[in-house]
Structure 1
Amino acid sequence: MNRILALFAFVILAGFLGILAYRVPSPDLLVVLGLTVLLVAYDFATSSGDNKD
């Protein structure tokens, strides 16, 4: 369930950032948005797995 919610949040964030990138196509902003999406994807991949605590 946590993985589904994390994926939903990632899709919503990526959609918002995609709209921002489309409406304000500044090269500097596109770099920052790309790095943001990469960091969020990395966090999703590393922290939303099964917890064996």
Structure 2
Amino acid sequence: MNRLLALIAFLAFLAFAGFLLVLIVKVPSPDLIAVSVLTIGLAAYDFLTSSRGRRW
């Protein structure tokens, strides 16, 4: 069950990153690129740290 939810979260992350990448390509503003890259990086960090297996 956890792997299924992780897969769904990963697919949602890819869709989010794809949307931001399309936005970057269509509107090449340096500020927008910086904010989008920072947002993708923070989302990736959150995904990686929250998907670690924790054993209590």
| TM, length-normalised to structure 1 | 0.88
Question: How big is the alpha-carbon RMSD for the aligned residues of Structure 1 and Structure 2?
Answer: 1.3
| Percent of residue pairs bearing the same amino acid type | 47
* Residue 52 (structure 2) pairs with residue 19 (structure 1): no
Higher mean C-alpha displacement, 43-52 vs 31-40:
43-52
Distance (whole Å) between structure 1 residues aligned to residue 39 and residue 17 of structure 2? 9
Q: Which runs of 4+ in 1 moved over 2 A?
A: 48-53
> Bigger radius of gyration, 1 or 2?
2
Name structure 1 gaps, 5 residues minimum: none
Name structure 2 gaps, 5 residues minimum: none
Per the alignment, do residues 2 and 52 of structure 1 end up closer, same or farther by CA in structure 2, a change over 3 Å counting? Answer: farther
| TM, length-normalised to structure 2 | 0.84
Per-residue deviation, 1:6 = 1.0
